[in-house]
Amino acid sequence: MCLDENGQLWDPYSGVYIPELGGPLRTAFIPFNNLATYQSPGNPKLDGTGFQLAAVPGNLIDRVAYKMMQFYPLPNLGVGTPEYDRFNNWIGSGVNKGTNNQWDLKIDHRFGGSDSLSGKFSWGRQRSRGATCFENLADPCAWGQWSANPRVFALNYVHTFGPSTLLNLSFGVARLFGFDPGQAADFPGFDPVTTLGMPDYIKRPGIVAAPAIYIGTYGSAGGASIGMDAYHVIKLAVETHQVLASLN
């Protein structure tokens, strides 16, 4: 058995809620906290419901959670020393990489003394890639390979009717196309169903990513404790048209 009472695992299927205790009565403890060899008998009330545990060793281990845990990096801070702290035993570093290229073109032309026309076009290309923590498909820090292509086009026409009357016509269009496939681009062979054993419905939204899991007492440099937040997978196209006319 585990010598630390607070660290002793017990079979949750054996618990019986006792109001006087304010919680369950723990009866079946797991020898040496070894979930891999322990076989839970389950709960008789679940027989025939489809929710009963399989009669095999390690049946308390969730298969998806077990596979996800394999993507946690091993400790690298103070290992094998008296200063080793099991609550703070890993550290990593990385850099965010990005490029932003842009050029602008503007042309002005005057048609006599009363009419003038100007036009401009701006072209941009943005690429970025976030730092990674775990360097694997369940990395909670990386957001994939973001790319964006902004475009701007505008025309402005001015006509002077006389010393006190001026007409100004303007037209503009701005468009931004952005795309981030998440970690699917970095791990093309990854499939949440075949790789992690998740149910088929997980792929219905069309997002290929390890699920984001949050553990309240576990610190992480990323948004989740492990896995990727679904909002990192994004495809957007924003286009704005504008026409203005003024007579002064």
Domain boundaries, given as residue ranges, for the chain: 5-61, 97-247
Burial class (CB in 10 A: 0-12, 13-18, 19+), 36: exposed
Supply the pLDDT for residue 38. Answer: 93
User: How does pLDDT run across 58-102, given as a tens digit for each residue?
Assistant: 999 988 989 999 999 999 999 999 999 988 899 888 888 999 999
Across the range 176-189, mean pLDDT stands at 85
Q: Is the pLDDT of residue 29 over 90?
A: no
Across the range 101-129, mean pLDDT stands at 95
Q: Is the pLDDT of residue 5 over 70?
A: no
Q: Is the pLDDT of residue 116 over 80?
A: yes
CA distance 180 to 207: 11
